[in-house]
Chains A and B, each alone.
Chain A
Amino acid sequence: MKPRSKRLVLVGVGVALLVGAVALVLNAFQQNLVFFHTPTEVAAGKAPTGRTFRVGGLVEVGSVQREPDGVTVRFAVTDTAKTIPVSYKGTLPDLFKEGKGAVVQGRLEADGTFRATEVLAKHDENYMPPEAAHAVEQAHKAGATVKQ
């Protein structure tokens, strides 16, 4: 092979490799995005069924209950307008508390319960997960518009 055509082959292989890798990355990306919805959106049926997504808000005061096994927890997440019942099996984060912000990730069951596989709370005392803050803020805005 001449040096020129050799370089062409090399560049061609490189480009093919790159295109393959990029296709792989973008495909994986599209399949694994986790969207965020506020409880109001979930109540309005805007959340996907059969796909993992996140819901954030405040843990409703007085809603945390344990099943007899002690490990399964039921609680409700609210944005002060709508409330979503959540069930979760596992250890809760240290800073999970009633009346405080939390974000849950999981799927919506047919009965309207959100089955969480992951519960995120804040990292320190002063701090609220931005998704939870966002949900409450949205609900307040919506509430304000209704009142007007």
Chain B
Amino acid sequence: MIPELGHFSLVLAFVLSLVQAVVPLVGASRNRAALMAVGRPAAQGQFFFVAFSFACLTWAFISSDFSVQYVALHSNTATPLYYRITGVWGSHEGSLLLWALVLAVWTVAVTVFSRHLPDVFLARVLGVLGCVSVGFLAFLLVTSNPFERLLPGAPEGRDLNPLLQDPGMIIHPPLLYMGYVGFSVAFAFAIAALLSGRMDAAWARWSRPWTTVAWVFLTAGITVGSGWAYYELGWGGWWFWDPVENASFMPWLLGTALIHSLAVTEKRGAFRSWTVLLAIGAFSLSLLGTFLVRSGVITSVHAFATDPKRGLFILFLLVVVIGVSLLLYAWRAPRLSGGGSFAFVSRETALLGNNVLLSVASASVLLGTLYPLFLDALGMGKISVGPPYFEAVFVPLMTPVVVLMMFGPFLRWKGDTLGPALRRVAPAFIASIAIGVGAALAIGHATPRTMLGLALATWVVLASVQQLAARLGERPGASSAVRLRGIPSAWWGMWLAHLGIGVFIIGVTLVGSLNQSLDVKMREGQHAELAGYSFVFRGVQDAAGPNFDAARATLTVSRDGVGIATLQPEKRVYRAQGMPMTEAAIDIGPFRDVYVSLGEQLPDGSWIVSLYYKPFISWIWLGCALMVLGGICAAADRRYRKLAERDAPAVAARQTA
């Protein structure tokens, strides 16, 4: 009964999404307040029914209702409760339902936090979001109904893919979806601007916090996914340039360009059509990501759908969204042109340069990801594009981005003279190169890559310090506390996020240069050495988990005779599917991780053990965390709230007039 209620509620949500898509847009074009006012309740009603439907599916998982096919395929009575709940989005149908729910959450957030927006504009935004929702709910109902019954019901479920039975997987998909789908708000704002032909600083100011929050979620989601790959896949890699990772990285790159382009549009009124194009691009890449990941064209742990109908449906949706929005863009964008002019040497130029480079980087990832698929689809042979390509492209593209990123803030808006600006940064820049080369020599790894990485990271740190000092020096005479408080939260956001890039580069460079690994055969009492650490194999015991049996090895790690950690990597077999899984054990430290994973047992009773020494890998996560924190600070700037309050009475006055 409950699954049928969930299904019915999904149908009701679909009907409401149709109303939300059509009525406010018609109202906006005819300027009928009554029709425009429909958007808000329709969106909120839709949210209620999607949420109810999601709750019904969750209930089916909690109560192990194996007469629902989706539950029977992805859960089991022995699965722990929290993995039964996360199993809801563990595969295709449920994750699409999560997509729809997240979209509804964002839409409701728009109705709640955008009371200060003009009615016509809000109606258009809700209408566009409604259109996206129509597409996804139709996709769910037509091709991927999660409530499909299995008659007769299965006595026991097949269990969730063991790779997904991990705490990281509890939060990774919701975070990533909040990011992906969050760009739909930026997209809706951009389309609404195209429809109205009006796009000014106020528009950019409304759009900015939404885009930044979506970017924060996407950054956090990608980070958690990377962390999951690091400890769950069992060989210590943190980024594989796997098509599925690329699918989330492309919107991130374009989204990063977008938040910077929006800053220029708000402050200077420039880059308007470029901003709109980026908003369309970022959302299209989010959809493309969903298509790549969910259609089954890419083979990975994420690819669930092998039903070609589903792939075609998303492809169709993608073509409609991109086609319609680009047509609208071609038709309306000329009206948006104009805005502040700027000189060749100015902060705008630095931001434009980085925008172009980030877009090229995004396009290069797109090429590497899609080209093999095209060749395959055309029957022209099978190829793969591996990490060497992406590394060869990313280092030269991102180097100028990082240099410009820290140089740009030293330039004034509109126009500046190059000489004084260069003289200001020259000491830090030269010092960075010297320190980078020196540090690479000091750690005994003087490759060009290491030197470049360390020099760039030093440049980011030194320039950050210099920027902070300059900012604090702006109010001479004031006490340092007053000066600190005088800096707006948005500035701290920029500063932290940029500093995060520096920390991230340190992590990537050092873990790439200095990591060591050893695959070795070990039996009880034997020991192995790696990077100055001594590992003693203490033997293997059987251990049983709720839904798996494991062989659990114990290794003691010491350095110079001092004990450091006892690590217990496992080799698990999940009972329902008989699927083996490696569970690594990691001793995490601020400057290095020691990582051990258990291979297979050999006929003579010894075990293959993989030992890894991963210096500075935590700095990668720390860098990402700083970027997330920076994004939060930027979105929480008082300016947005104050302006919202200031705009509100004006709107109210207009409504009563």
Contacts and interface: CB of A to CB of B under 8 A. Distances in A.
Contact of A25 (B234, B299, B360, B581): B360
Given A9-B344, A32-B392, A125-B579, A21 B357 contact: yes
Given A10-B349, A29-B367, A29-B385, A124 B608 contact: no
Contacts of A17: 353, 356-357
B582 interface: yes
B271 to A, nearest CB: 13
Interface string A82-121: 0000000111101100000000010000000000000000
A81 interface: no
Main DSSP-derived SS at the A contact region:
mixed
A92 to B, nearest CB: 7
A129 to B, nearest CB: 6
A95 B580 contact: yes
Q: Which of A25, A89, A95, A130 has the most CB of B within 10 A?
A: A25
Given A9-B344, A124-B161, A71 B364 contact: no
A92 B599 contact: yes
Interface in A1-50: 3, 6, 9-10, 14, 17-18, 21-22, 24-25, 28-29, 31-36
B232 to A, nearest CB: 11
B311 to A, nearest CB: 14
Nearest to B360: A21
A134 B379 CA distance: 11
Contact of B397 (A21, A94, A129): A21
A34 B388 CA distance: 10
A91 to B, nearest CB: 5
Given A18-B360, A91-B599, A123 B301 contact: yes
Given A6-B343, A94-B581, A33 B385 contact: yes
Nearest to A33: B383
Q: Which of A22, A91, A131, A134 has the most CB of B within 10 A?
A: A91
A124 B577 contact: yes
Contact of A71 (B234, B519, B580): B519
Nearest to A13: B344
B485 interface: no
Contacts of B163: 123
Interface string B260-297: 00000000000000000000000000000000000000
A69 B360 contact: no
Interface in B153-169: 161, 163
A23 B563 CA distance: 53
B235 interface: yes
Interface in A33-76: 33-36, 54, 66, 69-71
B40 to A, nearest CB: 43
Interface size grouping (class) on chain B: 35 or more
Interface in B378-416: 381-386, 388-389, 392-393, 396-397
B46 to A, nearest CB: 34
Contacts of A31: 388-389, 392
Given A29-B368, A35-B381, A123-B300, A89 B582 contact: no
A131 B371 CA distance: 16
Contacts of B301: 123-124
Contacts of B234: 91, 94
A137 B288 CA distance: 30
A17 B397 CA distance: 10
A91 B235 contact: yes
Q: Which of B234, B235, B368, B389 has the most CB of A within 10 A?
A: B389
A80 B588 CA distance: 46
B618 interface: no
B86 interface: no
B645 interface: no
Contacts of A123: 161, 163, 299-301
Contacts of A3: 341
A77 B600 CA distance: 20
Given A35-B381, A70-B602, A28 B608 contact: no
A129 B299 contact: yes
A94 B602 contact: no
Contacts of B341: 3
A3 B343 CA distance: 9
Interface in B331-387: 341, 343-344, 349, 352-353, 356-357, 360, 363-364, 367-368, 371, 381-386
B610 interface: yes
B344 A10 contact: yes
Nearest to B607: A70
Contacts of B397: 21, 24
A118 B521 CA distance: 19
A66 B641 CA distance: 66
B364 A91 contact: no
Contacts of B608: 70-71, 91
Nearest to A54: B384
Contacts of B343: 6
A86 B360 CA distance: 39
A34 B344 contact: no
B519 A124 contact: no
A95 B384 contact: no
Contacts of A91: 234-235, 519, 597, 599, 608, 610
A115 to B, nearest CB: 16
B356 A14 contact: yes
B357 A69 contact: no
A25 B393 contact: yes
Given A10-B344, A70-B606, 20 more contacts: A14-B356, A21-B356, A21-B357, A21-B397, A22-B360, A24-B396, A28-B393, A29-B371, A33-B389, A35-B382, A36-B382, A36-B383, A70-B608, A89-B519, A91-B597, A94-B234, A95-B579, A95-B580, A123-B163, A134-B382
18 contacts: A6-B343, A10-B349, A18-B356, A21-B356, A25-B364, A28-B389, A31-B392, A36-B383, A54-B384, A69-B521, A70-B606, A92-B599, A94-B579, A94-B580, A94-B581, A123-B300, A124-B161, A124-B301
8 smallest CB-CB distances across A and B, nearest first, come from: A70-B521, A32-B389, A28-B392, A36-B382, A25-B364, A21-B360, A94-B580, A32-B388
